[in-house]
Amino acid sequence: MRIKQYNPIYKNDCKRSCMCRNNEYIKDFGYEDFVKNYMSSGQYRCTDWLDCSALSKYYYFVKNSGSGDVEMFIEISPGGSMTFEDSGPYVISPDEVSYVHPMRESRYLRLKYKNLSSENPNLITVWFQGKNNYC
């Protein structure tokens, strides 16, 4: 999933250089965000890779709506094929919301998660938010 915020209306009519990259207008101090549900199990699973190259800051909020603890790591990658475990483990208790962000910068980012104590699936809700500010 590519995260960027371009406005094609301004593509060929750009007058503010601090707001442009390759003649494409980028909204200053804009936010990119999404919410997605995942089911955790006893095996590690991962979210999709996110391309964060157009973002200056990015982070996750994760809610565990299940009945058991969920363990989570942040993974980063320069190209999506080589993986580095950036931070974690984070343990999210039932009905808890956690805020996590990577310790290092990289182009690609994802979460790796699994149940700690139970084989019963746990529903986790992941909010990703990123901020672009190019000026």
45: left (phi over 0), alpha (psi -120 to 50) or beta: beta
Asked, for residue 6, whether it belongs to a domain, the answer is no
Q: So what's the pLDDT on residue 112?
A: 96
How confident is the prediction for the chain on average, in pLDDT?
Answer: 79
Under 8 Å between Cβ of 3 and 51: yes
CATH code at 106? Answer: 2.60.120.380
Overall number of domains in the chain: 1
Q: Would you say residue 132 has pLDDT above 70?
A: yes
The pTM of the full predicted model, rounded to 2 decimals, is 0.73
> Could you tell me the residue range of the domain that residue 75 belongs to?
31-132
Q: What is the mean pLDDT of residues 119-128?
A: 91
Q: What is the mean pLDDT of residues 50-71?
A: 90
> CA nearest 72: which of 83, 87, 58?
87
Q: Would you say residue 2 has pLDDT above 70?
A: no
Asked, for residue 5, whether it belongs to a domain, the answer is no
Regarding predicted confidence, which is higher, 42 or 8? 42
Asked, for residue 4, whether it belongs to a domain, the answer is no
Asked, for residue 123, whether it belongs to a domain, the answer is yes
Asked, for residue 26, whether it belongs to a domain, the answer is no
Asked, for residue 25, whether it belongs to a domain, the answer is no
